[in-house]
Amino acid sequence: MDLGLQDRIALVTGASSGLGWAAARELAREGCKVALCSRSETRIRQAAARIAVETGVAEDRLLPLVCDVREEAQIVQVIEQVVAHWGQLNILVTNAGGPPAGYIGDFTADDWRAALELNLLSTINLCRHALPHLRQAARKPNGLARILMITSISAKQPIPNLYLSNAARAGVQGFAKSLAEELGPEGITVNTLLPGYTRTERLAELARLQQQRTGRSVEEIEASWAEQAALKRLGEPEEFAAAVVFLASARASYITGVALPVDGGRSKHLL
């Protein structure tokens, strides 16, 4: 299947590791020119170099940039850098790290504010500032404009100890659905991707925290997560990235407003 991604311009945030990195790698493999950003210049440069080595894609098709997505000014700057470098923006993939785990008594108002800034406000600001460029890209002949938001399966089915994530992801979902409705007439699609338990640094950290809290081994904890999925295993970042690539592609032209679980069948609801 030709995905129609050759030479499309993509920006993936939170891309020095994990799901963001895997998404950037697969978009590059499918022919996109990919700007990838995270907070550390060293880490994002290394991340881009690793993509070039693993895919054989020329380094000048990858643009490593520094951006802390909690800072609106840095978002504005990074989008300007992408457009100045490659002339347009077709695909925005919003992503960042997850907030700390814990229950209601564990967090202050400042913790709540920080989580909403990291996972909700960052998404809104990225979309707000990318939108003029995505609109232009959609208007071109053979244009393509896509917004993809990486959230969590907790948007559909809250996870008991992830209060901050559960609340922020639900907000992103409401925002995405509103945006999909408004941008539909312009041919811009907006979808969210909801990872289940997928092997990344974030998951390893959550396992370590649970180990400290419960005394169970990391292996037992991972096995209990795997058991929740219909496929009885954890996901791999490249499996998640394949879904990103498809929803970003020209072939996903009639899919918008969708919240797609990529969770090996962890969510048990009908729809």
Q: In the bound complex, what is the minimum distance in angstroms from residue 143's beta carbon to ligand NAD?
A: 28
- Take residue 99 and report the two structure tokens written for it: 């907030």
Q: In the bound complex, what is the minimum distance in angstroms from residue 18's beta carbon to ligand NAD?
A: 2
Please report how many Cα atoms fall inside a 13 Å half-sphere around the Cα of residue 108, on the Cβ side: 1
Q: Contact with ligand NAD (CB under 6 A): which of 10, 51, 62, 69?
A: 69
Tokens 């989580």, residue? 115
Q: How far apart are CA 29 and CA 206, in angstroms?
A: 30
Span interacting with ligand NAD, options 9-17, 80-88, 123-131, 254-262, rule CB under 6 A = 9-17
Span interacting with ligand NAD, options 86-94, 146-154, 172-180, 242-250, rule CB under 6 A = 146-154
**DSSP letter assigned to residue 162:** B
Span interacting with ligand NAD, options 57-65, 95-103, 138-146, 249-257, rule CB under 6 A = 95-103
Q: Contact with ligand NAD (CB under 6 A): which of 12, 29, 38, 93?
A: 38
Q: Which amino acid is at 141?
A: P
Q: Alpha carbon of 184 to those of 79, 145, 148, 180, 211: distances in Å?
A: 22, 11, 14, 6, 45
CA proximity to 30, closest of 252, 255, 265, 259: 252
In the chain, DSSP assigns E strands to 9-13, 33-38, 62-66, 91-94, 146-150, 189-195, 259-262
Q: Contact with ligand NAD (CB under 6 A): which of 16, 125, 191, 210?
A: 16
Q: In the bound complex, what is the minimum distance in angstroms from residue 139's beta carbon to ligand NAD?
A: 29
Q: Contact with ligand NAD (CB under 6 A): which of 10, 11, 12, 14?
A: 14
Q: Contact with ligand NAD (CB under 6 A): which of 9, 10, 12, 17?
A: 17
Q: In the bound complex, what is the minimum distance in angstroms from residue 112's beta carbon to ligand NAD?
A: 16
**Count residues contacting ligand NAD (CB under 6 A)?**
30
Q: Which of residues 150-189 bind ligand NAD (CB under 6 A)?
A: 150, 152-153, 165
The pair phi, psi for residue 269, each rounded to 5°, is -75, 160
**Element spanning 243, H or E:** helix 237-248
**DSSP letter assigned to residue 11:** E
Q: Contact with ligand NAD (CB under 6 A): which of 10, 19, 183, 190?
A: 19
Q: Does 125 bind ligand NAD (CB under 6 A)?
A: no
Between 86 and 225, name the residue whose CB sits nearer to ligand NAD: 225
Q: How far apart are CA 27 and CA 85, in angstroms?
A: 18
Interacting residue ranges for ligand NAD, rule: CB under 6 A? 13-20, 38-39, 67-70, 95-98, 118, 150, 152-153, 165, 195, 197-198, 200-203
